[in-house]
Amino acid sequence: MANHKSAMKRNRQNVVRRERNRANRSRLKTLVRRVNEAVTGNAPEQAREALQAAVPMIAKAVNKGTIHRNTAARKVSRLSRRVNSLARNA
């Protein structure tokens, strides 16, 4: 346990940030899962809408420092590629 005043404050900040990051990451996973479900369900319109909802949330997670920018770029790229391939096959 922290003994110094600054260490105690740092510990409180870490707890708050951890909870915020967990919530953001959970929200992100849900949105990515919705895109993937729409793609596997062969629903191009739903997949496109889910992707449009997921991309801003991924960008927000980067701005908040929850995920790395390269991870976000990779996720967006892979999701877009899946949605676009679904549209081409339809």
In the chain, what are the domain boundaries? Answer: 25-89
Q: What is the DSSP string of 26-59?
A: HHHHHHHHHHHHHHHTT-HHHHHHHHHHHHHHHH
Give residue-wise pLDDT tens across range 44-90.
999 999 999 999 999 999 999 999 999 999 999 999 999 999 878 76
CATH of range 25-89; options 2.60.40.10, 1.10.3210.10, 3.40.50.970, 1.20.58.110: 1.20.58.110
pTM above 0.75, yes or no: yes
What local confidence, expressed as pLDDT, does residue 90 receive? Answer: 64
CA distances from 39 to 27, 30, 53, 61, 62 (A): 19, 14, 15, 23, 24
